[in-house]
Amino acid sequence: MDISEVAKKSGVAASALRYYESKGLIHSLDSAGVRRQFSPAVLDQLALIALGQAAGFSLDEIRVMFTPGGEPNIDRAMLAAKADELERMVKRLKAMIEGLRHAVACRAPSHAACPSFQRLLKAAASGALASRQRQLAPRKGK
């Protein structure tokens, strides 16, 4: 299939296909023609790339999910780690939703006077500070 057919069938722009190829995520076939040619298997690879991106994996993380020949080779430990990360994110988002819902319904004269809202602020500040400290901490092996 040429690049325009892959773009049409996959819904991925030709420019993105060229970018994915430059990043080593997909590979075109050797051809004497002017337009890039791809194996039909590229459609499955693009579906896996889309799924990986939807789950929050970076393109570099997704690239290691393929063998050099383009076959899926997904590390289950990496999937489990991403699932754990997403679960933590969901818990934080649920807590934030509850706090915002409380702030909407709170009968206190101002949010500054609301003990529940103040706890939410403190939790958000400590989480943000802890996250920032983890980012600034020197990493082992570097």
- Assess whether 59 and 85 both reside in one domain: no
Per the structure, the complete domain to which residue 7 belongs is given by 3-63
Q: What contacts 111, CB < 8 A, 6 or more positions away?
A: 103, 117
User: Given 34, 63, 92, which residue is the final one in a domain?
Assistant: 63
Tell whether 72 is covered by a domain.
no
Mean pLDDT confidence for 106-122: 82
Percent of the chain whose predicted confidence (pLDDT) is above 90? 51
Mean pLDDT confidence for 103-130: 78
What 3-state class would DSSP assign to 15? helix
Mean pLDDT confidence for 64-92: 92
Structure tokens of 15?
Answer: 């420019």
The pLDDT value recorded for residue 96 is 80
Helical H segments across the chain, by residue range = 3-10, 14-22, 42-54, 59-63, 76-105, 115-136
The CATH code of the domain that includes 33 is 1.10.1660.10
The pLDDT value recorded for residue 106 is 85
Angle at which helix 42-54 crosses helix 14-22, to 10 degrees, equals: 90
- pLDDT surpasses 70 at 45: yes
Tell whether 76 is covered by a domain.
no
Q: What is the pTM of this model?
A: 0.71
Mean pLDDT confidence for 117-124: 78
Structure tokens of 6?
Answer: 């892959």
Report the C-alpha gap between 103 and 31 in whole angstroms.
62
- Assess whether 9 and 55 both reside in one domain: yes
- Assess whether 88 and 52 both reside in one domain: no
Total domain count, the chain: 2
Tell whether 52 is covered by a domain.
yes
Tell whether 71 is covered by a domain.
no
The pLDDT value recorded for residue 100 is 82
